[in-house]
Amino acid sequence: MDTFMPQIPRSFINHADIRVVLDATLDDFGHEEKEAIFFFCALGAPVQDISTVTQLAPAHVVSTLNLYAARLESKLHFFKKFMPHNDTELLQAGEYLFM
């Protein structure tokens, strides 16, 4: 799986307004797509297993993961321009999803 999930600065997680925007990124997806994102980010499940559990086509799973990563990366890129952050204190997307 070539999907790259961006890492999130801890200071962004602790900032209430940024947290709302990051949470909304996930809210844009349907239930099964959210499940796919959670299975991939939190468990590192392979696409075929995610496809079986969510009943989404493997191509849909890959597309969902890539779209989520791109949207998250875009928002993080924006915030990094304007908000102080420490690039040594980063969280994986899976860690963030369970906070």
Report field, pTM of the whole predicted structure over 0.85 = yes
Q: Does some domain include residue 39? A: yes
pLDDT tens by residue, the chain, 99 residues: 456 789 999 989 889 999 999 999 999 999 999 999 999 998 899 999 999 999 999 999 999 999 999 999 999 999 999 888 888 889 888 888 877
What's the domain range around 88?
8-97
Q: Does some domain include residue 1? A: no
CATH number at residue 30: 1.10.10
Count how many domains the chain has: 1
Cα separation, 30 vs 44, in Å, equals 20
Tell me the backbone φ, ψ of residue 19, rounded to 5 degrees.
-60, -40
